[in-house]
Structure 1
Amino acid sequence: MPHPHPPLRRAVRLVALALALCATTAFADDYADVSQLMRSGQHAQAMVRADQYLAAKPRDPQMRFLKGVLQTEMGRSADALATFTKLTEDYPELPEPYNNLAVLHAARSDFDKARAALEMAIRTNPGYATAHENLGDVYARLAAQSYGRAQQYDAANTTVGPKLALIRQLFPPAARGAAQPAKAAGS
């Protein structure tokens, strides 16, 4: 089955590549190697390389971020949640780990946690367009939940149905897959 959010994967890869390019020359090869292995689908090898690097430099935020993205791509969302959460604790000034936490929370339909994480991302970087877009998506999902509950409690209310239909046009059930914001940062 194809990945439900191809733009998400592209955005993840672009940010990770940008992080790797911004690294100092001494570490650029390590970041680039992990990124290249990820791009070529060699996830196990990328994880080995990231873990080797982090054994020597366990607090490196860029490699930890890449590892979180890799864990996400490998379907290890619990590990990725732990990685990104720890990054936000150790480096609260970085917006990307908050954004990726939000994507993981939204994938679990935990939109309140996703909203809180995105608000932190925006607080750390008010110009972070991806976080703003994702926050809009989360608000739309929260609105859909509220409209759905309103419809359950008052089926005669004729104003709710059209609002819910508009949101369903934005996020059709077939394209929805995992309910998550559009874009993660990294990989």
Structure 2
Amino acid sequence: MHRTIFTTPVVSSLLRGFSLAWLRLAGWTVQGALPEQARKSVFIAAPHTSNWDLPYTLFAAFALRLTPYWMGKASIFKFPFGGLMRFLGGIPVDRSKSNNLVAASADALNAADGPVQLIVPPEGTRSKTIYWKTGFYWIAVTAKLPIVMAYMDYPRKLVGLGPLFMPTGDVDADMAEIKRYYAQYKGKNASQFTHE
């Protein structure tokens, strides 16, 4: 995995202090901690309903001492912001091409030398969507890694890490259980998030 702001020693320490202070001043509470067995893992990032989710996610990642990477549409990685997006942990995804993103992501996770958490929003978009994409699920299954149920709740100003979930391979049953867990959280634009 490429170097990011989270793996740059002095910068990451300074930004952790800034993130903790900013979240506290903004009234947000950070909950949970990353268990040792989830140093390599796939994160569900839900609800994902606003552009504000990215900065809050980055602040929370610093506060929780994570090593996150996230996937974003290729267009946001174009000049002049491409280098910055990669430094923030971004991995460009070309949605117009049919490629085996699941296998490539699983291979990258397994090949990484140190801790790495791949953050994937199950909706795949900030817009309202009825069906969750299952890419995060199949990445975890293929890589044989746990899923961390990370959350952001705007009304209560909570951000954190929920329980670990080990996928069984029964995607329908597992997705139903995961969605039940997320029923308690609301995004910034709550009407755009469905857990059904």
Could you say whether these structures have the same fold, taking a TM-score greater than 0.5 normalized by the shorter chain as the test?
A: no
Question: Between Structure 1 and Structure 2, whose CA radius of gyration is higher?
Answer: 1
Structure number with higher strand proportion: 2
What TM-score, normalized by structure 2, do the two folds share? 0.30
> Which of the two has greater helix per residue?
1
